[in-house]
Structure 1
Amino acid sequence: MAATRRSTSRRQQRRRRILIGTITGAVVAAVAVAAVGVVTVLQRSEPPSAPAAGDETPAVTTPTPTPDPTPLTPAQQLLAGTTDPAACAVSFAGEGIDLAPLLESQGSLYASLPIPTRDGEVFAGWYATPDDAAARAIPGRINGADAVACDAQQRTLYGSWMSPADNEAAKTRIPILMYHQFTTKPEGESGWLRGNYAYVGDWDAHLAYISEQQFYLPTWPELSAFIDGALYLPDHSVIVTDDDADPSWLELAVPLVEKHQVMTTSFVITVNGPGPDLTPYVLKRSHTHDMHTAGDNGQGRIVNWSKDQIVTDLDTSASVLGGTKEVVAYPFGHYNETAKEGVAAAGFEMARTIEQGYVSIGTDKLALPCIRINYGMTVDDLKRAIG
């Protein structure tokens, strides 16, 4: 009995040891798990360690802001509005000059160069370079007698000024040459109009002389401003004109104008039409529409008609020629006060007579004189007439 109780007691003690061991193991395991959790939390909360020497740190990329586009210059804005490959934006520079650029066409003559004004000074022209402007050098002076040439569709012209006293002191006189018909006969034509026919060989030599001697060729707006005292023109200037647009002018004379590229004016009797456009170096201006014929008293219609009739005729003539109203040539050179009033009322600023003389500051714009070229006048005769 006692043995049985001892055996039972030993079994109970063994169970208690096993149970305690089990509980102890569980506690130890739980403590271990908790310790691992604490370590993990501590690891997560620690700041990242510095990279070891030699390790590369990834660069932080900052987005580059897009720059604002560079604003277009006024000249570039002009070019942006056209697809014409011949377009040229012409800008203007110089003391006291603040002008917007103009769009011109390369290969054509300058169509609209401005003539700026400035209190107490006289404009002395546009030039290719600042040095030309300072020297007022004729070879570098640019105007409507020159063909437009640009670099990358742009160019700048430079203005020059002078005092009114210096302009007066220059004593410039502008000859307006007047030709009529042309002949291939060195001995000339016969008949009462013989004097009107210039030998085409002399005409060729005249143009060559004007070109080689680098005469300045004023436009009609420039001549008007010169007369007003607002523009300086060099004394080494000349304007070349022809009356009537005779077939001999078109066939014989115009090809030589193109050859020498000397700007001329053809005064056209527009009742016969505007005539062909053979070269940009010929400007077509009015010789009236239908007043180049005799009136009741044997003189031209322009001195027989009323002012209103004259205005109607000149308006018609201008429309045939594209609306240009810069200058008209009096038919036969005939004019009177009514003729001058009619010319002015029609919107023409100037009129050329056949009276001999030179244009100076203050000349009557509605009675411009000229230098008549007759048959047989050589280059030497031309030199004496224009210098």
Structure 2
Amino acid sequence: MVTRAQRRRAARRLRLRRTVAVVVAAVLVAGGVTAVAVTRGALGTPAVEAEQPATATPTRTPTPPPTPLTPAQKLLSTTRDPRACVVSFAGDGIAIEPQMQTQEARYEALPLPRADGRVFAGWYSTAAEAESLEVPARVNGADLVACSAREKTLYAAWTTPEANVAEDAGIPILMYHQFTRKPEGEEGWLRGNYAFVDDFDAHMAYIQESGFYLPTWDEVSAFIDGALYLPKRSVVITDDDADSSWLELAAPIVDRRQLLTTSFVITSARTESTPNRFVLQRSHTHDMHRAGANGRGRMVNDDADTIAADLSQSAAILGAKEVVAYPFGHHDDTTKEGLRRAGFELGRTVEPGYVRIGTDKLALPVIRVNYGMTVDDLRDAIG
């Protein structure tokens, strides 16, 4: 006879076996194996419960490697300047690293590639414009930087040496001096130097509205070498002495009309920074704009080393070399040697004429602008 205590012990054993079976089944399912939970029936016989489906191990999608940065993106990653613009260069035979430029400033030091058998014809914003060689679309250091998403690509244009020679461009360098508000002009022996400011504004309007190309000095140098194409309708605007009347009356006009102009500064007299972003400041010597022993300018009285030292001092103040305007236009072979020793490439005289392929780089001629010169006179002089 089974006692009550024996029945209770049997029931406890049955419940224990069922609990163990359920735990084992759960472990097997968690391990991804289809399991059958086996328990004991009420009378101790095995009972098969519902089959548990296997759970598949989830498949992980591999993380793709990061896309490599382009050279332009790498350069852009080095600055947080919101005005930064990385300019890349494209075109036939072009392998030039991107440059960092600044939006709303003029382009600085754009490359001028050279290649045997052809002539560089400038940078353009699209490949189609580069193919057309349309002057108004050409981009250089006279233009302000504008780009989208802080990047821009410029496309190279090329022409042939024969086409470059056939263009027969003669580049005028305009030479202004002082300015006056008086329509009747100033009195005295320097009367011719003083342009009436309204006439100057009219001159600049004509250049602006007629679509003249404004080459930079490195472009003038490459043009002389026959390595760069410049269109006939090109002009260089300059002012000598950086007189107060230039700063007060004329410089605001070139700023408003956005015309690249060079101001030749006597740095012993002035050390102010440029009056606006369209005015380049270049050397009119440091302290040689005065007479030497023979009554002519110091540039033809002093030796080459003295000239070089003066020009180096001027360049250190201005932060640029490139070109010198000779005081009074005086220069000779010793003067030129002084420029070479100081590292200058171009010298501007007061001799009348036009810059052409093969012109002496240390004797650039000019178109002098005198008081009373009208827009018609300017048109006759520069086209």
TM bucket, shorter chain: 0.7 to 0.9
The alpha-carbon deviation at position 272 of structure 1 amounts to 1.3
CA contact (8 A) 1:129 1:140 kept: no
CA contact (8 A) 2:122 2:157 kept: yes
CA contact (8 A) 2:266 2:289 kept: yes
CA distance in 1: counterparts of 2:236 and 2:136, whole angstroms: 16
Partner residue of 1:6? Answer: none
The alpha-carbon deviation at position 362 of structure 1 amounts to 0.2
The alpha-carbon deviation at position 275 of structure 1 amounts to 2.5
What is the correspondence of 1:1-387 to structure 2 with a 5 Å cutoff? 60-322=57-319, 324-387=320-383
* TM-score, reference length from structure 1: 0.85
* TM-score, reference length from structure 2: 0.86
Name structure 2 gaps, 5 residues minimum.
1-20, 26-32, 37-51
| Aligned residue type for 2:168 | K
Name structure 1 gaps, 5 residues minimum.
1-39, 50-54
CA contact (8 A) 1:273 1:320 kept: no
Determine what percentage of the aligned residue pairs are the same residue: 62
The alpha-carbon deviation at position 187 of structure 1 amounts to 0.6
The alpha-carbon deviation at position 60 of structure 1 amounts to 4.8
CA distance in 2: counterparts of 1:115 and 1:126, whole angstroms: 9
| Aligned residue type for 2:349 | T
CA contact (8 A) 2:72 2:88 kept: yes
The alpha-carbon deviation at position 274 of structure 1 amounts to 2.3
Q: Deviations over 1:243-269 (max 9, x none)?
A: 000000001001111110100000000
CA contact (8 A) 1:258 1:281 kept: yes
CA distance in 2: counterparts of 1:47 and 1:246, whole angstroms: 97
| Aligned residue type for 1:130 | A
CA distance in 2: counterparts of 1:266 and 1:56, whole angstroms: 88
Structure whose CA Rg is larger: 1
CA contact (8 A) 1:241 1:264 kept: yes
CA contact (8 A) 1:176 1:240 kept: yes
Seen in structure 2, the aligned counterparts of structure 1 residues 85 and 58 have a Cα distance that, compared at 3 Å, is same
CA contact (8 A) 2:274 2:280 kept: no
Seen in structure 2, the aligned counterparts of structure 1 residues 186 and 47 have a Cα distance that, compared at 3 Å, is closer
The alpha-carbon deviation at position 58 of structure 1 amounts to 5.7
Seen in structure 2, the aligned counterparts of structure 1 residues 91 and 58 have a Cα distance that, compared at 3 Å, is same
Secondary structure of 2:121 counterpart: strand
CA distance in 1: counterparts of 2:117 and 2:271, whole angstroms: 42
